[in-house]
Structure 1
Amino acid sequence: MANTRTALWVIVVAQFFGTSLWFTPNAVLPGLADTWGVTTEDLGRLTGSVQLGFIIGTLAFALSGLADRWRASRIFLVSAVTGALTNGLFALSPSLEIGLALRFVTGLCLAGIYPVGMKLVASWAPEKKGLVLGWLVGMLTLGTAFPHLMRAISPGWGWQPVVLASSVLAIAAGLMIARLGDGPGLPATGRFDWGGVIRSFREPRFRAAALGYFGHMWELYAVWALAPLLVAASLGPLGSDRTLVSVTAFAFIAAGTVGCVLGGMLSRRIGSARVAFGALWVSGLMCLLWPWFEAVPTWLAVILLLVWGMAVIADSPQFSALAAEAAPGHAVGSSLAIMNSIGFLLTVFAIELTANYWQSLGTGVTWLLVLGPVLGLLALLPLCRDR
């Protein structure tokens, strides 16, 4: 069996590789526009399709207890390989309609990568959840940003190779986790517990963490989905440079990796609840003020984007750590899955709302996201007082 340090590095790298499947259409929007005539509204549909697939997948895992019955490493392997296949077929699909269906199935597969990865981390280092989940979600963030970087460094490739590169990484992720196996902390229960996970919401601390997470999710994926548009608007005359926009969008999202890691380290000192509260406060403030930042110099706008990118995801691993601590020991995987499922359901509405109003409101769509951080902060207050 691998030692804990090695195991954690394998998991976080595999998470980076596996989650590179998530936002490939957003990274190659110009190519999709040339090939299929994709508009901003269509981009919202593509993103919403993968989110919907993820929601249904996590809901099935949670309500069936599957995430706690079968070995997490096996679920991760099957999900990563299948997701790689559907993502590859997306690159070869002849139309937007078929692409939407394939993105939905990719979302189903991601339900066996992201929350299952969190369970794997908990099984190897249960005593350091806030720290190691910071690394894990940081790798998810880097994986989300990676297609933007691929798009920037391969302007002559077309959009299909960028998508296929994510499939190759996902296959590598599945093989890495299959070789590693599960940790000793959370063995599979060997039984189904249909609906038993709902009992987690009776725990006040789990309920507070989940409600804070839901407020955070209303903002997060809408901001990531709009990243190329927000970046182009911030760059002024330089916003027409596709390569520059891709590089900056990568930096914007990838800055969250730093935020997650720093937040995980800070959680060891002040607790996960306070780290989550601070990050959510900063990201909510950026949503509120961003439409007024269009007039600032480009260099300052880029710095503010990086700050926002760090804050917008830094709270996510801490919400997961708080939830994992409060959930019943036999249902950690299912509890995290149901929390993810509800949170990602909210992202579908937020993404559709902001994508549909972008043409009329421009960067003012960020005002539509402010409510999430506000409600999340209110939910977190009791947990902050306890620590």
Structure 2
Amino acid sequence: MLRRPVPVIVVAQLFGTSLWFSVNSAADDLVRDWGIAPSAIGALTNAVQAGFILGTLTFALTGLADRFPASRIFAFCAALGAIFNGAFALLADGMSSGVPLRFAVGVCLAGVYPLGMKLVVSWVPQQAGAALSLLVGMLTLGTALPHGVRLSGLGTSWQATIGVSSALALAGALMVMWLGDGPHFKRRRDAPALRLGQVLRAFSVPAFRASALGYFGHMWELYAMWTLVPSMVVLSGLAGTGTPAQFGLSFAVIGIGAVSCMAGGWWSQRIGSARVAATALVVSALCCMVYPVSTGWNAWAAGGLLLVWGGAVVADSPHFSALSAGACPPEVLGSALALQNAIGFAITMVSIHLGTRELSDWGAHIAWLLLPGPLLGLVGLYPLWRARSLTGAPATR
């Protein structure tokens, strides 16, 4: 068999999710060209989050995520997202046109991220923790990719940088269409019809509920931190605004999460997904606490702290998905993951809004605004990380 499903899905996820933060790499140019306040970048980011929430809620509550092949949904949404992202680069000339287009990109991403997770589980259910670590690692690298593209082409326009993301998303769509769905968790022809809102019963399962609560705390911190990384690099005294150093360090701080996700996937096969997630939450919480006092440190120490934080902040993410996939009823797997994503991303809208709004007043202390996330995530996850036997790998059913 020539197909190697996990690498194909992982690379397609990298390409598809490069749409997510494509605009953030152009933040300084947009502020200048459109004459908007820096805080407006948070509104553009939140437009994507809002679209993603609407899309995932629609997939979850209607059961669409489990009615059609995941590969077809992924490919269609990645291609459509590429079109809307390209339209932003070519047609948007201000917030009134930019926000709706970014919202549309977010709706499309609802068919890329959670459906990519379902695809992985449909191919290798017994290796869910490790495989999803690769997948989320690529989401992380995809998030960092626009900063890397900007760094590698500093003489190019921001429109060209965003255009590269669209081209990559189209390539990801073609890859998944070629691959198709895995043999596990296929819906039986004689299965009862999915009822509207049926997915809500997943929350009646204690293990799913604990994993979801941990995930919600984690999400308070993750996307707000990623949004604030370019500003944190400047606040740490490591680079000036709009410089190659800022782009490069932002890429490194976010992108190192791909390495930590892969390392966490390997580690989860030895100690279990719940304990990997708990460890990452602890390290991330410590970084939130320490960052405000790091601005007086030398460059190596301050940069090292940001890199550790960038690794810890996302290393737990795939394990929440693996734990939830192992706990929820198999017939609503795609819908349950989409619903968990929807609630989690609704939480990110609040923390992104507060973080970008208060940044100028709080300065480096903005990290303390993110601290409740990992702390509450640890509390929610407690029933699982205290149990040594849980690995997060769902049984084949």
Fold equivalence (TM over 0.5)? yes
More helix by share: 1
3-state SS of 2:386 partner: helix
Per the TM alignment, residue 75 of structure 1 is displaced from its structure 2 partner at its CA by 0.2
Match of 2:294 in 1: 293
**Aligned counterparts of 2:178 and 2:320: Cα–Cα separation in 1:** 29
- The Cα offsets for residues 214-244 of structure 1, whole Å up to 9 and x where unpaired, read as 00000000000111101111135x3245111
Report matched runs for 1:140-289 at 5 Å. Answer: 140-188=139-187, 191-236=193-238, 238-240=239-241, 242-289=243-290
**Aligned counterparts of 2:174 and 2:264: Cα–Cα separation in 1:** 29
Q: Check the 8 A contact 2:31/2:38 in 1, yes or no.
A: no
Match of 1:70 in 2: 68
Percent identity, please. 51
Per the TM alignment, residue 193 of structure 1 is displaced from its structure 2 partner at its CA by 2.6
**Aligned counterparts of 1:327 and 1:196: Cα–Cα separation in 2:** 12
Match of 1:352 in 2: 353
Per the TM alignment, residue 40 of structure 1 is displaced from its structure 2 partner at its CA by 2.4
Q: Check the 8 A contact 1:68/1:189 in 2, yes or no.
A: no
Q: Check the 8 A contact 2:28/2:242 in 1, yes or no.
A: no
Q: Check the 8 A contact 1:288/1:370 in 2, yes or no.
A: yes
**Aligned counterparts of 1:320 and 1:153: Cα–Cα separation in 2:** 33
- The Cα offsets for residues 268-287 of structure 1, whole Å up to 9 and x where unpaired, read as 00000000000011111111
Which consecutive residues of structure 2, in runs of 5 or more, have no partner in the other structure?
389-397
CA 1:254/1:350 → structure 2, altered by over 3 Å: closer, same or farther? same
Per the TM alignment, residue 329 of structure 1 is displaced from its structure 2 partner at its CA by 0.9
**Aligned counterparts of 2:222 and 2:235: Cα–Cα separation in 1:** 19
Moved more, 65-74 or 363-372: 363-372
**Aligned counterparts of 2:266 and 2:252: Cα–Cα separation in 1:** 21
**Aligned counterparts of 2:53 and 2:171: Cα–Cα separation in 1:** 24
Match of 2:127 in 1: 128
Q: Check the 8 A contact 1:279/1:311 in 2, yes or no.
A: yes
**Aligned counterparts of 1:143 and 1:38: Cα–Cα separation in 2:** 26
Q: Check the 8 A contact 1:208/1:379 in 2, yes or no.
A: yes
**Aligned counterparts of 2:251 and 2:188: Cα–Cα separation in 1:** 40
**Aligned counterparts of 2:187 and 2:318: Cα–Cα separation in 1:** 23
**Aligned counterparts of 2:299 and 2:170: Cα–Cα separation in 1:** 39
Per the TM alignment, residue 209 of structure 1 is displaced from its structure 2 partner at its CA by 0.0
3-state SS of 2:240 partner: helix
**Aligned counterparts of 1:240 and 1:313: Cα–Cα separation in 2:** 25
Question: Which amino acid in 2 is paired with 1:208?
Answer: A
Per the TM alignment, residue 189 of structure 1 is displaced from its structure 2 partner at its CA by 5.3
Report matched runs for 1:311-330 at 5 Å. Answer: 311-330=312-331
3-state SS of 2:39 partner: helix
Per the TM alignment, residue 30 of structure 1 is displaced from its structure 2 partner at its CA by 1.4
Match of 2:311 in 1: 310
Per the TM alignment, residue 372 of structure 1 is displaced from its structure 2 partner at its CA by 1.1
The two structures have a TM-score, normalised by structure 2, of 0.95
Match of 2:392 in 1: none
Aligned length: 384
Question: Which amino acid in 2 is paired with 1:172?
Answer: A
Match of 2:29 in 1: 31
Question: Which amino acid in 1 is paired with 2:5?
Answer: A
The two structures have a TM-score, normalised by structure 1, of 0.97
Which consecutive residues of structure 1, in runs of 5 or more, have no partner in the other structure?
none
Match of 2:395 in 1: none
Q: Check the 8 A contact 1:2/1:180 in 2, yes or no.
A: no
Match of 2:93 in 1: 94
**Aligned counterparts of 1:2 and 1:35: Cα–Cα separation in 2:** 48
Backbone CA RMSD of aligned residues: 1.1
3-state SS of 1:226 partner: helix
Match of 1:18 in 2: 16
